Amino acid sequence: MRSLPRGLSLIIPTCLTLVVGWIDNITGWEVSLFIFYAIPIVQAVWWGGAAEGILISILSGAVWWFANHDVNPYNTFLGYFWALINREFYFIVVVFAVRGIRNRQEADAAYIQMLEERQQLEADIVSVSEHEQQRIGQDLHDGLCQQLAAIGCAARVLADDLRAENSARAEDAAAIEESLRQAVMEARDLARGIFPVHVDRVGLSAALSDLASTLSRLTGLDIRVEEMDEVHIDSPEAAMHLYRIAQEAVSNAARHANPTHILVKISQNAQALTLTIEDDGCGLGSKNKRSQEGMGLRTMRYRASIIGAHLHLEPRVGGGTRILLTLPLTSAPT
């Protein structure tokens, strides 16, 4: 009804007011239908607005006046008129009360819509970010790694030729080949970290193990993965979010906590999957406050909310930080 022209929103309340007045006239003064005049008033305000409600209020007063004019118990015209004023006051109160309720409902609906749009925007941002990471990882693997490997092959051939000529430059060419080989290895590690192609139903543990191995080589830290139970996740989306959360947690610890050891534990039972990331770094003190409240933790919390998981950050016994993620298996998106 709210989408109809404002004039049409008065038709049903007007007809209903006339029906109530007709019944009021039949039943007489002793059986008062006064409260039922509020029904069309509420409809008019809800469908049209306060102006429509006031018009129906005036109409209701007039209908009540004529419906009870011949049978009212008042001895004077002034007494009857004052009764009409009282009823009109009641009708106007109903108008503004209903308008307040309607405005609150509209405000709540607008707020809910804003939250839904914000949630959708955040989901789109995460999706675009994930797509870009995969694209960059694929480009690194298929583009840069292949070019570096080709240059390394050329350096190897050059080193062999120089050795055949007993040239003193042969060792330099071999050193260039070794540097290129290390560069290819690091580029592939980066590509695999950005785009873990085997994160699937049974590949999460393997992907986390590769992540730990890669980051251990890049950072020099002792990063280990401990799988306490055999983990199976039916949702590739949930597996990817779990991988990204672990990746962000380990990277944050390596950058900000100055740890020597980082442990990633993953376990699963019939009710839930648990992912734990522990480090023996500087912990949750004031020096690390900035990293706790940064984009990384907010991203981890948002990824956890997407898949219906709970993320908890707490101090680790013995020093350091412990991040605990619990994913009810019935909440994982499919």
Considering the chain, what percentage of its residues have pLDDT values greater than 90? 15
Answer whether residue 182 is part of any domain.
Answer: no
Whole-angstrom distance, CA of residue 231 vs CA of residue 325: 15
Q: How many domains does the chain have?
A: 2
**Is the C-alpha dihedral spanning 29, 30, 34, 39 positive or negative?**
negative
Considering only residues 133 and 248, tell me which one the structure prediction assigns the higher pLDDT.
Answer: 248
Q: Measure CA of the first residue to CA of the last residue in the chain; give whole Å.
A: 39
**Residue 65 is part of which domain span?**
8-118
Residue corresponding to tokens 């029906």: 19
The answer to whether residues 304 and 208 belong to one domain is: yes
Where does residue 106 rank: exposed (0-12), middle (13-18), buried (19+ CB within 10 A)?
Answer: exposed
Cβ pair 211, 243 in contact under 8 A:
yes
Answer whether residue 276 is part of any domain.
Answer: yes
Whole-angstrom distance, CA of residue 221 vs CA of residue 256: 13
SS3 250: helix
Task: Tell me how far the alpha carbon of residue 208 is from its chain's centroid.
Answer: 25
Considering only residues 41 and 118, tell me which one the structure prediction assigns the higher pLDDT.
Answer: 41
Widest CA span in the chain: 133
Task: Tell me how far the alpha carbon of residue 170 is from its chain's centroid.
Answer: 58
Provide the pLDDT for residue 332: 54
Residue 239 belongs to domain with CATH number: 3.30.565.10
Answer whether residue 248 is part of any domain.
Answer: yes
Provide the pLDDT for residue 286: 44
Cβ pair 221, 182 in contact under 8 A:
no
Last residue of a domain, one of 84, 100, 118: 118
Mean pLDDT of 36-46: 89
Cβ pair 34, 23 in contact under 8 A:
no
The answer to whether residues 223 and 324 belong to one domain is: yes
Whole-angstrom distance, CA of residue 247 vs CA of residue 231: 18
Considering only residues 181 and 107, tell me which one the structure prediction assigns the higher pLDDT.
Answer: 107
The answer to whether residues 91 and 210 belong to one domain is: no
Q: Whole-model pTM above 0.85? A: no
When pLDDT is cut at 50, 70 and 90, the band that residue 193 belongs to is: low
Provide the pLDDT for residue 6: 63
pLDDT at 256 over 50: yes
Last residue of a domain, one of 84, 118, 152: 118
Residue 264 gets which letter from DSSP?
E
- 53-101, pLDDT tens digit by residue? 899 999 999 998 888 888 878 888 888 889 889 989 999 999 999 999 9
**Is the C-alpha dihedral spanning 106, 112, 116, 119 positive or negative?**
positive
The answer to whether residues 334 and 202 belong to one domain is: yes
pLDDT at 132 over 80: no
Answer whether residue 16 is part of any domain.
Answer: yes
pLDDT, the chain, mean: 81
When pLDDT is cut at 50, 70 and 90, the band that residue 50 belongs to is: confident
